[in-house]
Amino acid sequence: MHRVYLHPLALRIWHWTNAIGFILLVLTGLQIRYVGVINLVSFRTAVLVHAWIGFVVTANFFLWLFFHLFTDQGRNYFAELNPVKLFQGCWRQLVYYSSGIFKGAPNPFRQNIAKHIKFNPLQGLTYQMVMLAFLPLQIVTGILLWDLAGFAPIVQFLGGVRVIDTVHVLIFIVFVLYIPLHAYLAMLGRTTFEHYKAMLTGWEDEDDPAE
């Protein structure tokens, strides 16, 4: 076993900015959606905070995008391009998470930083969906809802406020489910907080090829 520098500083800053931003967006989003039921802050304050945090997360997304487009880090998200192998890898990982881990079975995935195999197939597919589909769509719908008057032609073209709002809320629900699941799966290393520590320091232990 040896240590590898798994998470560059830029990636760690992006990750924790995103994590805090997501949580604040969820909390303020709940306050906005259930005004009169949840009264942690005023409706106006919730709207303002939600908007500004949304802009921070949006800027953070573009930093992530450019970082992965112009460095070799982007290869981690597309380590397996063969759809059959990708499906098989996702299935093995799903079986491991749903039953194998509770029976003491070994993790079928072994990362290989040298070959840019950082995420198991299920992780890679999930991150692609979140970062390249759900988050961009949430950003677009959020910006449209932020200024309905200014973007009125686009809103009408896309089906009206009800359609935009429904899409925004549905993706909001996806993130509400994703955040605790992501936090839980991050605990499934050799120790409970191994992956959390790696996301703070950048370093993580990796098995030697002969092990």
Angle, vertex CA 72, rays to CA 67 and CA 78, nearest 5: 100
For residue 5, the cross-strand partners are 203
Q: At what angle do helices 83-98 and 121-129 cross, to 10 degrees?
A: 100
Q: What's the pLDDT at 208?
A: 64
Residue 14 lies in a domain: yes
* 69-95: pLDDT as tens digits: 998 888 888 867 788 998 999 999 999
Measured torsion, CA atoms of residues 7, 120, 134, 36, in degrees rounded to the nearest 10: -80
Nearest to 60 by CA among 25, 19, 119, 23: 19
Residue 10 lies in a domain: yes
211 pLDDT band (50/70/90 cuts)?
very low
Report the SS3 class of residue 44.
Answer: helix
Q: How far apart are CA 100 and CA 95, in angstroms?
A: 6
Residue 164 lies in a domain: yes
* 96-136: pLDDT as tens digits: 999 999 998 988 988 877 677 889 999 999 999 999 999 99
Where helices occur in the chain by DSSP H, the ranges are 9-33, 43-69, 83-98, 121-129, 135-146, 152-157, 161-185, 194-201
Residue 19 lies in a domain: yes
Residue 90 lies in a domain: no
Residue 106 lies in a domain: no
Residue 191 lies in a domain: yes
Question: 157: domain range?
Answer: 2-74+131-206
Residue 97 lies in a domain: no
Q: How far apart are CA 113 and CA 196, in angstroms?
A: 18
Q: Look up the CATH number of the domain holding residue 31.
A: 1.20.950.20
**Residue whose pair of structure tokens reads 């200024």 in the numeric block:** 147
User: What's the total number of domains in the chain?
Assistant: 1
